[in-house]
């Protein structure tokens, strides 16, 4: 791929002055950004991130600084949130070693248990960062806006069904079932209101790099793609990680690693994390029908079980 002249100039004169770009190639990107591996003439490797939908460059740069020494994240070399120098919002960071977690999750135990434990411990460390309130970040100050991320799930789901692309892909019964599940979950999630820990919000195998530096033990080498991060409950990330079936050894290791590293799991953590994951599933319905996350969401929604009706009065004697 060819870099636009202004971005190349930004890299070679401002981000990495005096160094020259040799090659670039696309990397796996998300829905909101485009990533490219930039290799310099001296052999250095960096990741260029351009924002296609949501410009979170300032937030991601600030989070990278906040997370340094807490969890492994790429170092941000330069950021141009306004695009004034690069011609468009852009961020340049170090290229991190490792394999995507999703590529090695098929390893049998004890590798799966090691992977799960390392990922759970990383999530617990991430949750050690707290904020003054719950909410979403709008700029590099990382001040939450005070909007409660765990509230009004039923309203959010209904809006996604109305404004998204569910029609023609989910039956009327599937949509009614999703709404019933969301209505029940809305009440359940009241206990989490006010949680104010750092949430990645896309914490899954496609955003985690792992490696075995000593040749035997798996470690997390990088947590990538922070554009959706906010302040709330770590159960959001647990629901995301366990949305799809995982090897049993990985899941047990994940839970053990989280707890042993200081993460708190309430007794009903699984039900609450699944309820929180409905926010993401509903949001996926607003993406194009040919998007892989849209198709996955449709499949998961069809598999949902509606809530049990409340018990009726005891029979008369």
pLDDT for 312 equals 54
Provide the whole-model pTM: 0.92
Tell me how far apart the alpha carbons of residues 201 and 288 are, in angstroms, rounded to a whole number: 20
Average pLDDT over residues 86-98: 96
- Determine how many CB atoms are found less than 10 A away from the CB of residue 197: 20
Beta carbons of 218 and 122 less than 8 angstroms apart? no
First vs last C-alpha separation in the chain: 79
Average pLDDT over residues 34-60: 95
Main-chain dihedrals φ then ψ at residue 9, nearest 5 degrees: -65, -40
pLDDT for 53 equals 82
Please return the burial class of 18, using the count of CB atoms within 10 Å of its CB with bins 0-12, 13-18 and 19+: exposed
The proportion of the chain whose per-residue pLDDT surpasses 90, expressed as a percent, equals 88
Alpha carbon 123 to chain centroid distance? 11
Average pLDDT over residues 4-33: 91
pLDDT for 106 equals 78
For the cut 80, the answer to whether the pLDDT of residue 213 exceeds it is: yes
pLDDT for 70 equals 98
Q: Write down the domain spans for the chain.
A: 5-94, 99-303
pLDDT for 308 equals 59
Average pLDDT over residues 215-239: 96
Q: What is the mean pLDDT of the chain?
A: 93
**CA atoms within 13 Å, Cβ hemisphere of 202:** 16
Average pLDDT over residues 36-57: 95
Beta-ladder partners of 210: 99, 220
Q: Does the domain spanning 99-303 belong to CATH 3.40.50.300? A: no
Instruction: Tell me which fold the domain 5-94 belongs to.
Output: Phosphorylase Kinase; domain 1 (3.30.200)
Q: How confident is the model at residue 9 (pLDDT cuts 50, 70, 90)?
A: very high
Average pLDDT over residues 83-94: 97
Residue 8 or residue 106, greater confidence: 8
């Amino acid at each position: 791929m060819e870099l636009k002249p202004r971005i190349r100039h930004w890299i070679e004169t401002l981000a990495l002055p005096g160094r020259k770009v040799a090659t670039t190639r696309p990397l796996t990107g998300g829905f909101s950004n485009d990533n490219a591996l930039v290799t310099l003439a001296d052999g250095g490797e960096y990741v260029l991130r351009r924002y296609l939908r949501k410009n979170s460059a300032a937030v991601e740069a600030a989070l990278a600084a906040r997370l340094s020494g807490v969890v492994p994240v790429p170092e941000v070399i330069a950021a141009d949130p306004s695009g004034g120098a690069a011609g468009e919002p852009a961020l340049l960071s170090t290229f991190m070693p490792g394999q995507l977690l999703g590529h090695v999750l098929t390893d049998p135990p004890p590798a799966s248990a090691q992977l799960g434990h390392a990922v759970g411990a990383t999530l617990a460390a991430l949750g050690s960062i707290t904020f003054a309130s719950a909410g979403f970040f709008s700029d590099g100050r990382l001040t939450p806006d005070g909007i409660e991320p765990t509230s009004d799930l039923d309203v959010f789901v209904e809006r996604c069904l109305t404004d998204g692309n569910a029609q023609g892909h989910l039956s009327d019964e599937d949509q009614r079932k999703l709404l019933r599940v969301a209505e029940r979950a809305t009440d359940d999630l009241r206990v989490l209101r006010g949680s104010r820990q750092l949430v990645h919000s896309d914490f899954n195998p496609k955003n985690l790099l792992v490696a075995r530096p000593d040749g035997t033990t798996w470690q997390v080498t990088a947590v990538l793609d922070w554009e959706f991060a906010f302040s709330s409950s770590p159960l959001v990330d647990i629901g995301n990680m366990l949305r799809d079936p995982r090897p049993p050894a990985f899941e047990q290791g994940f839970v053990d690693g989280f707890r042993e590293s200081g993460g708190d799991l309430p007794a009903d953590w699984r039900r609450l994390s699944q309820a929180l994951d409905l926010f993401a599933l509903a949001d996926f319905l607003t993406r194009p029908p040919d998007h892989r996350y849209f198709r996955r969401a449709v499949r998961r929604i069809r598999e949902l079980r509606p809530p049990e009706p409340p018990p009726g009065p005891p029979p008369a004697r």
